Amino acid sequence: MSGQLKEVRERIKSVKSTQQITKAMKMVSAAKLRKAQQAIVQMRPYADKLNSMLVNILSNLEGDADVTFSKTREINKVAIIVVTSNKGLCGAFNANVIKSAIKTINESYSDQYNLGNLDIIAIGKKGGEFFRKNYPKANIVNDHVALVTDLTFENIEAAALSAMDKFAEGEYDRVDISYGRFRNAALQFPETIQFLPVPKLQGTKEEGKEAKVDYIFEPGKIELLEELVPSILKTTVQKCVYDTHASEHGARMTAMDNATENAEELLKELKINYNKARQEAITKELSEIVGGAAALNA
């Protein structure tokens, strides 16, 4: 019985130690989340407006401009930028982003994968590790591990250029981005979007005419677009990275909060079991004492 009590005491001690760790990780993630959430909330309207403007411009060129990053080609070689975190303990966040990328591969690029024409540009360690282990025919061309911890525009620009340059050279015919879109601390959802070529606006048809937005270009249209389009595309990648960064901390804070609550429930059960075992031990000892005393008096 003493061995059982010792085992329960050790278990209680272990759970308390784990609970302290999960509480600390929750507090750290909450502090980081505030900063990350502020960054994406401030950037998202700017990035969305730039992207909307870019799509409108390229959709209404009517063939009078040949912009490098809007060229549509037959899809032979594909790259997917997978944005995950470097660390785990954030629930199913990384797994969901990876599942979104896998779904896109299975539905749209299975032929390219089987032919070895699928490249994975991994931003974050978890995505790179998964595809390197489970998708041997995919080429892990870059593994931007440090970028997740140093979210400067220069680092993000380097990751974006690795895909943009190869698309401009004709090596890639299509580039997608899989990332975690941040909604709030408790809700993040995976998303895969087309990055290159820039998707054309479908528009709403009214009286047989497509919706069109006119822009005045100063200086010339071609010169301006060749400078403007790469800048907007880099901003799109930056938004995806910021989204994923905020989502990671939100998911980790939620996961650690759940883990702390589970530890509390487990401690209650262990304490009840400990008290029961202790009571049984005391009752047994008293019974032995009473039995011994009765034997002496007999």
Catalytic residue IDs:
90
Find out whether the peptide bond into 219 is cis, omega within 30 degrees of 0: yes
Long-range pairs for 114-121: beta carbons < 8 A, 24 or more residues apart: 117/76, 117/77, 117/78, 118/77, 118/78, 118/79, 118/80, 119/77, 119/78, 119/79, 119/80, 119/172, 120/79, 120/80, 120/82, 121/79, 121/80, 121/81, 121/82, 121/159, 121/162, 121/163
Residue 154: C-alpha distances to residues 158, 246, 261, 274 (Å): 6, 19, 40, 57
**Residues 9/274, Cβ–Cβ less than 8 Å:** yes
**Residues 84/241, Cβ–Cβ less than 8 Å:** no
Say which DSSP state 121 is in.
E
153 sits in the region (left: phi over 0; alpha: psi -120 to 50; else beta) called alpha
- In which element (H, E) is residue 119 found? strand 118-123
* Strand 205-206, strand 209-210: pairing: antiparallel
The amino acid that residue 187 corresponds to is L
Q: What SS3 string covers 184-204?
A: ECCEEEEEEEEEECCCCCCCC
Site of tokens 């054309």 = 200
Residue 56: C-alpha distances to residues 59, 70, 173 (Å): 5, 12, 21
